[in-house]
A and B are shown apart, each in its own frame.
Chain A
């Protein structure tokens, strides 16, 4: 039972409550750095580290942090992890850091992270909080990657910098420009909502059939 519970916390972030596709959180990095797959992965990785680290600390200290100053405390914790991620990326992968530039410090302002602290980590035991953070961060990473991959393939004709098409392919420059982010995200959200609508319809049909059957 306990195992199932933490598994459930993990899996909900990837699909049902996916931070981007279901909750529509963290749109700023989502639209800004997904012009190539590698940038999306680096951003997702940094966010993953910050979210899991912060959730662990916030949940561990949740009984010591007075309610009145909790938001300030969360921000201090998040900002510390962001700074650590910033310097680590700068030291280990200077090229990627150069690409992401201003968006790494801006992870502090990602509402997904503060939102998870306030809504989940500060109310639940550490084990569940970490599972929740792992799930949400993985969901965010997958979302960033799918957007980054689509935009790089269409806008640059490449994936991870490897050319996919012949010379005749004329890249849709607009896809790696800001409007491309909105277009791609719009189409993906459309798909998710259509899927959810179809699923609800299907469940209703099943319930209907069961009622008339009994």
Chain B
């Protein structure tokens, strides 16, 4: 348009059509790649979840999904979509060991999704694993890379609530050393666990009367998968 030797400006219709066609083709391509990768992504996530449950609950070899329906915690093979769920972990003798609780909340950058192991008889957090996070590489990502921080969740009392303290000053069983340079991310993890613990406190049955392990086909949760 600026240069005189250029051909006349194309009609608005042509401009709109070009963009519409480009958008349409792009949309189809994106739907295609989404549909074709979805099964693999879902399978990966399910496998990661199983591995994470066995990691946060030491000594567990079987698991099942538990949901809170009609005033009690019951075992389900396949929890309904968007239904809050916890995982019960059982040892080889089919005895209840603890819950693996999925939890999520805002971190420094984006939502952090974690799974933590909770032993109701001792009121202890026994393990923590970060499932999803976009925390700053090199700083915030220490919430899952720093072995000391992750190790701090192996025996952490939730009574009255977990508190993140400056590194090296932990003195109470409910305190955990925050990561230097990643205080916000460390505190986010602690807040997520506290909030989830409070939210479920009323719904978990009293210690000793946890749901029994129900063997179902779809469970497929043997260790070593």
Spell out A's residues near B (CB within 8 Å): 32-33, 35, 39, 64-69, 72-73, 76-77, 79-80, 83-84, 87-88, 90-92, 94, 98-99, 101-102, 176-178
Contact of B110 with A by CB under 8 A: yes
How many residues of chain B get a CB closer than 8 Å to chain A's CBs?
31
User: What 0/1 readout, one digit per residue, does chain B (96-114) give for beta carbons within 8 Å of chain A?
Assistant: 0000000000000110000
Assess whether B219 is interfacial by the CB under 8 Å rule.
no
Do A87 and B37 touch (CB < 8 A)? yes
B132 CB-CB contact with A under 8 Å: yes
Q: Contact check, A90 vs B41: say whether CB atoms are below 8 A apart.
A: yes
How many inter-chain contacts with C-beta < 8 Å in the A-B complex? Answer: 75
B29 CB contacts on chain A under 8 angstroms = 80, 83-84
CA distance A80 to B34 in the complex (A): 11
Within 8 A of A (CB), among B130-154: 132-134, 137-139, 141
- The answer on a CB contact under 8 Å between A91 and B26 is no
What is the predominant secondary structure among interface residues of chain A facing chain B? helix
Docked CA distance A176–B1 (Å): 49
Residue of A nearest to B7 (CB): A67
Nearest-neighbor residue (CB-CB) of B136 within chain A: A178
Given A32-B137, A102-B109, answer yes or no on A94-B15 (Cβ-Cβ < 8 Å).
no
Nearest CB of A to B150, in Å: 15
B30 touches A80 (CB 8 A): yes
Q: Which residues of B contact A33 (CB under 8 A)?
A: 137
Residues of B close to A177: CB separation below 8 A: 138-139, 181
Q: Which residue of B lies closest to A174 (CB)?
A: B138
B26 and A88: CB pair below 8 A?
no
In the complex, the answer to whether B37 meets A176 with C-beta atoms within 8 Å is: no
Binding site for A on B (CB under 8 A): 1, 6, 9-10, 14-15, 18-19, 22-23, 25-26, 29-30, 33-34, 37, 40-41, 44, 48, 109-110, 132-134, 137-139, 141, 181
Contact assessment for B30 and A83 in the assembled complex, using a CB-CB cutoff below 8 Å? yes
List chain B residues, Cβ under 8 A from A67.
Answer: 1, 6
Contacts of B139 in A (CB 8 A): 177
**What B residues does A92 contact at CB under 8 A?**
40
Whole-angstrom CA separation of A13 from B40 in the bound complex: 36
Check if A84 sits within 8 Å of B33, measured CB to CB.
yes
The 7 residue pairs across chains A and B that have the minimum distance between CB atoms:
A91-B37, A91-B40, A101-B134, A80-B26, A87-B37, A66-B10, A76-B22
Say whether, besides A39-B137, A80-B30, A91-B40, A68 and B15 are in contact (CB < 8 Å).
yes
Bound-state CA distance A80–B6 (Å) is: 30
- Residue of B at shortest CB range from A32? B137
A65/B37 contact (C-beta < 8 A), A32-B137, A76-B23, A101-B134 known = no
Expressed in whole angstroms, the Cα–Cα distance for A101 and B108 within the complex equals 14
CB-CB under 8 A for A94 and B137, given A64-B18, A88-B37: no
Quick one: closest A residue to B131, CB to CB? A98
Closest Cβ neighbor of B15 among chain A residues: A69
B18–A66 touching, CB < 8 Å: yes
